[in-house]
Copies of this chain bind each other. A is one copy, B any other.
Amino acid sequence: MLNWDNIFATRSSRMRASEIRELLKLLDQPDIISFAGGIPDPALFPDREFKQAYSNIFDSTAVNSALQYSVSEGYKPLREWLVGEMGKLGIACGLDNVFIVSGSQQGLDYLGKLFLSPNDTALVTLPTYLGALQAFNAYEPAYDQLTPNGNRTPASYQAQAKEAGGKVKFAYLSADFSNPTGESVDLEAREKLIKLADEMDIAIIEDAAYQSLRYDGEAIAPILSLEIAEKGDIDKTRTIYCGSFSKTLAPGLRVGFIVANAPVIRKLVLMKQAADLHSSTINQIAIAEVARKGFDAQVAKIKAAYSKRRDVMLAALAKHMPEGVSWTKPEGGMFVWVTLPKGMDGAKLLAKSIETVKVAFVPGRAFFADGSGENTLRMSFSSSNEEKIEEGIARLGKLIAGEIGGA
């Protein structure tokens, strides 16, 4: 019998099955109320707009190029539209600063590939986006804790990275309504982070997957926009902005984007050419048309629906959770982050919850690069209706109260 482990690369040992993947399978069971998936509500997809967009492609001379190979940097009209959108966010940039990827997850994989030699250090928050850890893991990094509001010195980060056998290469964070906590990084912390990155000569990876989904409070300028304001030119900046259409238009087309200085974009384009040539041509054309015709209206529709669900979830948590349980109050995004009393275990609670009250969520530990966070849960409010949110939180609150009482 073949033993493949004999010939797999060493990096393959860091590719393991994920809890989230296993959990996604639960969504197919109709009697489960699931707050597990961080996925958009398909009822809000702009399906008529996409139907029209695909139909237009086949009724025009664009059809041949839509089905053909295309350039690695992405479909030009989509990149042009993004230049305009970025301008509205204070990110003054040109076509050479915009690169299309097959979903922002691919952007994270490429950035890991571009920066991380084995044992280099990636700075990540505790907790952080699980998918980022999975993407980076393939390049065998060490992790250290990024505390945007903390006071770790460059020397302290660098000493730890040296001990791990490499150099600090970047700080990764989701600055707005992060997956998993729903919380945002404030303006002062963003400014401090730019200073820290300058001092250490590292990149900042700004994951903006949820940035458009603000329901209340004041918008905070993207880290990249702050750096452009400070340094005068995107090509002098070190922040790499990763955007997505998955939360606003639709994830099934696999279209995301990266906006950054031209030297980094040039390298990423070469990488993509070698890795998968280019993202789907026809899907880029469809996204460009739907975005151009009605991006703002679509985002407004989603925000109206999700903000109500967030309100319902927060109210239900306040009503049904026993003392000792706390949670975040996000101003946008898709997630509320719940902290159980110390000593409780989110993974064990999930097993019991599915069995007894038929409610699913994601245990928080997977989001911690250091394996801590066992008493935390990620709850998504994006894909359940308001009655189910109320009902699910009520059931879960009762279960947790029983667990605390019985402990």
Contact = CB atoms under 8 A, between A and B. Distances in A.
A10 to B, nearest CB: 5
Interface string A4-27: 101111111001111001001000
Nearest to A274: B134
B58 A51 contact: yes
A228 B115 CA distance: 41
B67 A47 contact: yes
Nearest to A46: B67
Interface stretch (A103-111, A371-379, A387-395): A103-111
Given A47-B63, A138-B113, A267 B12 contact: yes
B69 A115 contact: no
A115 B8 CA distance: 4
Interface stretch (A148-156, A280-288, A356-364): A280-288
Interface string A106-137: 10010001111100100000000001001101
A131 to B, nearest CB: 7
A316 interface: no
Contacts of A169: 7, 9
A233 to B, nearest CB: 11
A271 B68 contact: no
- Interface centre among A15, A58, A169, A278, by most B CB within 10 Å? A15
B47 A106 contact: no
Contact of A67 (B55, B113, B253, B264): B253
A58 B282 CA distance: 15
Interface residues of A, number: 86
B275 A9 contact: no
Contacts of A64: 42-43, 45, 47
A67 B50 contact: yes
A232 to B, nearest CB: 13
A311 interface: no
A67 B117 contact: no
Contact of A114 (B9, B251, B273): B9
Given A15-B267, A236-B2, A263-B4, A115 B9 contact: yes
A336 interface: no
B202 A7 contact: yes
Contacts of A213: none
Given A47-B67, A251-B67, A267-B8, A277 B105 contact: yes
A342 B254 CA distance: 48
Contact of A275 (B105, B277, B281): B105
A267 B167 CA distance: 29
Interface in A258-297: 261, 263-264, 267, 270-271, 273-283
Given A67-B253, A135-B274, A138-B271, 6 more contacts: A2-B201, A47-B58, A54-B54, A68-B250, A252-B282, A254-B279
Report, nearest first, the 8 A-B pairs whose CB atoms are least far apart: A252-B281, A42-B64, A51-B58, A134-B274, A67-B250, A106-B276, A67-B252, A109-B275
